[in-house]
Amino acid sequence: MFGNNQVLGRGGHGTVYKGVLEDGRIVAIKKPTFLNETSKNEFGKEMFILSQINHKNIVKLLGCCLEVEVPILVYEFVPNGTLFHFVHENKNTYPISLGARLKIACESADALAYLHSSASPPIIHGDVKSSNILLDENYMAKVSDFGASKLVPKDGKQFATLVQGTYGYLDPEYLQTCQLTGKSDVYSFGVVLLELLTGKKADYFNGSEERSLAASFILSMKENRLLDVLDNQVKNEGDMELIQEISELARQCLDVKGEERPTMKEVAEELDKLRKVMQHPWVPHNAEEVESLLGESSNDHGIDYHGTETTTCYNSKNRLASNRESGR
């Protein structure tokens, strides 16, 4: 049953296999990489976290078996693999439109915002990366792998922890302080957003030199060379003003100071607004006209267009600053 030909993926905490239940349903089965007390505790924690949450963009836990020598977790099967595979290994076969990239970013951000702001207690994912975002039959994003996740203490205090995560996605502040916060997820999500914009991996080779995608991107923004790092499909298809707004949001997520980064809720709301702009290019750029035309639909996710200090409806830098000043 657990043969190498059934492996769907491998991670630091376990290996995921494809399986079939007695009723014929295809499922994903996760087994620990190492058989010890720590791995059993990690699986128990992941089971507890996933049993507390219900969101369409988070992979569903169907069952578990913990009181055995080899614990297993059983998840829904998500057929189109990981976002990592979709972006980095399929891009030459199936060009990915900017709209598809923005949709996946919106859905992933919405899931993380739910974990941070709506789950009780709040949950920090702790290992946000493109290989932990799955795509279903309709290419809807589903955040997965909660092996490194932490429940936020009731008093909301930061807590020190052994650094876990993946090179290229790790929050530099978390690396320095060993304190995992919601802003650590924001940084990691910023790297995922860069993968979607550039088609490059979180750490990649330029000739024989290994480079950090985040560092390369920030430098290109400072030197006004954004076009040099964008994926060709994005450049050829996209509205550059919209792309610059998405890029600016990614840059904010990657700020070295966690307190300067937006919250995941702010990121999700901003991406939702940008996606609306892309879907409705006929919408005027004046914020008040946007609100009157979109009406209640602009508040589907609690989004508020008031307080923008710009003539366009998608200036993320000014809008996020305005939201923070007003206490949002």
- Count Cβ atoms below 10 Å from residue 11 Cβ, excluding itself: 18
Task: Give the CA-trace dihedral at 90, 62, 39, 187, to 10 degrees.
Answer: 50
| 8-state DSSP, 25 | -
The single residue of 127, 145, 171, 231 carrying the catalytic annotation is 127
- 142 belongs to an annotated ligand binding site: no
Q: What does the alpha-carbon distance between residue 87 and residue 13 come to, in Å, rounded to a whole number? A: 24
Does 171 qualify as catalytic in the annotation?
A: no
Contact 43, 73 (CB under 8 A): yes
Element (H, E) at 318: helix 316-325
Closest C-alpha among 149, 188, 192, 168 to residue 51: 149
User: For residues 171 and 14, what is the distance between their CA atoms, to the nearest angstrom?
Assistant: 23
Annotated binding site for ATP: 31
Q: Which residues are catalytic?
A: 127
